[in-house]
Amino acid sequence: MTRKPALAVVGATGAVGAVMLQILSQHADVWGDIRLVASRRSAGRKLAVRGEETEVVALSEDALTGVDVALFLVPDEVSARWAPIAAAKGAVVVDNSAAFRMDPEVPLVVPEVNPHAVRVRPRGIVASPHCTTLAMLPAVGALHAEFGLRELVVSSYQAVSGAGRDAVALLRAQLSVVAGTELGAGPGDVRRAVGDDLGPFAAPLALNVVPWSGTLEEGGWSSEELGLRAETRKILGLPGLRVAATFVRVPVITTHSLAVHARFENEVTVERAHEILATSPGVVLYDDPEAGDFPTPADVVGTDPTWVGRVRRAPDDECALDLFVCGDNLRKGAALNSAQIAEAVALEIGPGAGDRRGLGSGQGPGSA
Amino acid sequence: MTRKPALAVVGATGAVGAVMLQILSQHADVWGDIRLVASRRSAGRKLAVRGEETEVVALSEDALTGVDVALFLVPDEVSARWAPIAAAKGAVVVDNSAAFRMDPEVPLVVPEVNPHAVRVRPRGIVASPHCTTLAMLPAVGALHAEFGLRELVVSSYQAVSGAGRDAVALLRAQLSVVAGTELGAGPGDVRRAVGDDLGPFAAPLALNVVPWSGTLEEGGWSSEELGLRAETRKILGLPGLRVAATFVRVPVITTHSLAVHARFENEVTVERAHEILATSPGVVLYDDPEAGDFPTPADVVGTDPTWVGRVRRAPDDECALDLFVCGDNLRKGAALNSAQIAEAVALEIGPGAGDRRGLGSGQGPGSA
């Protein structure tokens, strides 16, 4: 008997975990056992996956034993502690957190862009990029393959759900305060109305935009802005790529948007860019300015691909394109990309992985 | 007897007109008679200016007779028709519309940046720039004077009030529909909930951002995106300046924000940029990342200056700065800049202008 690989979903009860369970129920089923793991507080809850009610178990060494692939959908510090434990027990870890993204011994993978990278994982860990990087990379990676990327200037329009379920509840509460009022017309009136609890944000988000996300790094940059630069360089294999980004939160629930100015080595045309984007996996080209067609978060939310519109050649630079991209930060930006990586690993280690484990080989697939 | 110059405010009953009447009531009073002019529909209404109830008169040739300075705060087509009539009758026209901005015989003026330009006006018309240009130029112009500007990449976060009072009412109505719901989490759910009336926008704005503002121009560019380029070139006297902009509407009532990547001829430092911005007229530097200080629309609305924060040197380009700027699109972005231009003209033509006119000289100050 050949058994399919066993999967653990660590962080099954969170916002990204919920989307992951949907995806696992919808995608072609490559998994044997699926174990749902969460904090001790959530243990004992039952969640539906592949149509079956499955009991959530508490994160522990036992919970990570006998697993072929472990999806980590948890905060950085939880991944930092537990992912190496899972890897030591033989699982290939697919980590959605920032804990290992810049570790030189951990590949950082966007399956549409650098699928080969998943196979070289000396620590038994594969990292999935930040949601903002993921919103952009399927499109930018495809254009790079044709034109040769030299520089990116990026501005983000980031949804709140990437900051967690409490952040969504906070924005909804703020919207209820301002709706039906004349607020937003006087200095500070929204701030006074919504009160002091701003959650993870530095200012109110209802009727506002907030140019900060992440922690403070040198030179006034935020960790997320520098993260986009570092991650894009690593994924595209371009250590000298010039990247400048300004990250801004906007009052949108889910789906990040980015305005991208991309300068290439070679001359670009909108026609050729359209051909590339229309035929790239994971990308939907939605760009007909005469018909008023371009992506917006309200239409993209809940869908898998990166949507691209407003494709223009820079007026003063025949080697630069300006684009507007939208990607669901909970799907491609988190759960979907991690699921795609895990499925690629499942395909690589094959349906017999469960048997090999069952025989007690002690050889994790990550050591291959 | 010397009389102060007579002013006509054409479009006194609109959104920008309302702010103008506030400004005229607050600023040092350089005006003699102030005549309020609007469409026939609004004639007869009484509005307060300088503490006096003043009756609105209908736009006509008579209404523009005996005026030294005429502020036009009306749509492009109304300015295109009536501003030359006012100028022919001897008034200096200060026009807030797009009708004359790119006319080579009409100066385009930001008083903090190119005040000298106001004096050369062969058509008797001075134009005020678009609100998005104005949100950025006091800061960018000051940095240009020191470092020498070569290129701009700009993304906008534009408020709705620039699209008129109906646009504000529409956003408020949309917010009332989505508040207290779970909308914004599924594809198209906001669009279905708010219905078909999107006003001047191509998509819903509640819980959304919309990457379009203006009309379609060649190459997929919008008129406003190309307008920022043309206006910035004209105001700074840099006909070859490279500019690429993506304009995006956001669910904010008033105050435009812009993420600006500015490349200069010379090396920049954040320290020197701070010194320049802190001492430039019309600019407030609000940039302390350790304290979490940066401008947002909710705090800037209702104030006069351009607020600047998030000043960073590009990580890969010692000649480039990244900034986040906010400016009230109804004040500096419209009424205030036009008032400043008008006041500069009043100073130039002097307090005797009314007397000269009273003597029937027939010489408009614009012909000087």
CA–CA gap between residue B32 and residue B23 (Å, rounded): 15
Residues forming a β-bridge with A190 = none
As a whole-number percent, the residues of chain B with pLDDT over 70 amount to 95
Task: Please tell me whether residues A155 and A259 are part of one structural domain.
Answer: yes
Contact A37, A54 (CB under 8 A): no
Alpha-carbon distance of B237 to B239, in angstroms, equals 6
The verdict on A290 and A215 lying in the same domain is yes
Tally of domains within chain A: 2
Judge if A269 and A139 occupy the same domain: yes
Residue B326 bears catalytic tag: no
Instruction: For residue range B35-88, list pLDDT tens digits in order.
Output: 999 999 999 999 999 999 999 999 999 999 999 999 999 999 999 999 999 999
Look-up: residue for tokens 């009532």?
B253
Say if residue B149 is in the same domain as residue B99.
no
Whether residue A318 sits in one domain with residue A342 = no
> Which residues in B lie closer than 8 A to residue A211 (C-beta atoms)?
257, 259, 294-296, 309-310, 324
Note whether residue B1 is domain-resident: no
Return mean pLDDT, chain B.
93
Rounded mean pLDDT of A305-327? 98
- The rounded Cα B90 to chain-centroid distance in angstroms is 25
Among A residues 177-236, those touching chain B with beta carbons less than 8 Å apart? 178-180, 184-191, 202-204, 207-212, 216, 219-221, 226, 229
What is the DSSP annotation of B72-99? E-S-HHHHHHHHHHHHHTTPEEEE-SST
Same domain? For B170 and B125 the reply is no
Interchain proximity A246–B322, CB inside 8 Å:
yes
Tell whether A277 and A360 lie within a shared domain.
no
> Same domain, yes or no, for A268 and A290?
yes
- What pLDDT was estimated at residue B164? 82
Q: In this model, does residue A352 exceed pLDDT 90?
A: no
Q: What is the CATH number of the domain that holds A61?
A: 3.40.50.720
Would residue B33 count as lying in a domain?
yes
Residue of chain A minimizing CA distance to B321: A244
| Average pLDDT of span B324-328 | 97
CB contact under 8 A, B153 and A153: yes
Residue B69: give the domain boundaries: 7-129+332-367
Do B121 and B175 belong to one domain? Answer: no
If we measure between CA atoms, which residue out of B78, B123, B72, B73 comes closest to residue B102? B123
- Residue B67 within any structural domain of the chain: yes
Query: Which residues are CB-neighbours of A315 under 8 A, at least 6 positions away?
Result: B219, B221, B226, B229, B242, B243, B244
Regarding whether B187 and B52 lie in a shared domain, the answer is no
The reply to whether residue B254 touches residue A178, judged by beta carbons under 8 angstroms, is no
Report how many Cβ contacts below 8 Å link chain A to chain B. Answer: 233
* Residues A84 and A155 occupy one common structural domain: no
The verdict on a CB contact (< 8 Å) between A253 and B299 is: no
Find out whether B225 and B136 touch, Cβ atoms under 8 Å.
no
Residues B89 and B197 grouped into a single domain: no
A1 pLDDT above the threshold of 50: no
Residues of A in Cβ contact (< 8 Å) with B185: 253-254, 301-302
Token pair, residue B343, equals 């006041």
Task: Show residues of chain A in contact with B172, CB under 8 Å.
Answer: 179-180
Cβ-defined contact of B219 to A298 (cutoff 8 Å): no
Model confidence pLDDT, tens digit, residues A268-312 = 999 999 999 999 999 999 999 899 999 999 999 999 999 999 999
Reported ipTM: 0.92
Query: Which one of B130, B144, B256, B326 is the catalytic residue?
Result: B256
Say if B2 falls within a structural domain.
no
Share of chain A above pLDDT 70, in %: 95
pLDDT of residue B355: 59
pLDDT of B368 above 50: no
A88 occurs within a structural domain = yes
Q: Rounded mean pLDDT of A74-85? A: 97
Does residue A367 have a pLDDT over 80?
A: no
For A289, the closest of B216, B309, B320 (CB atoms) is B216
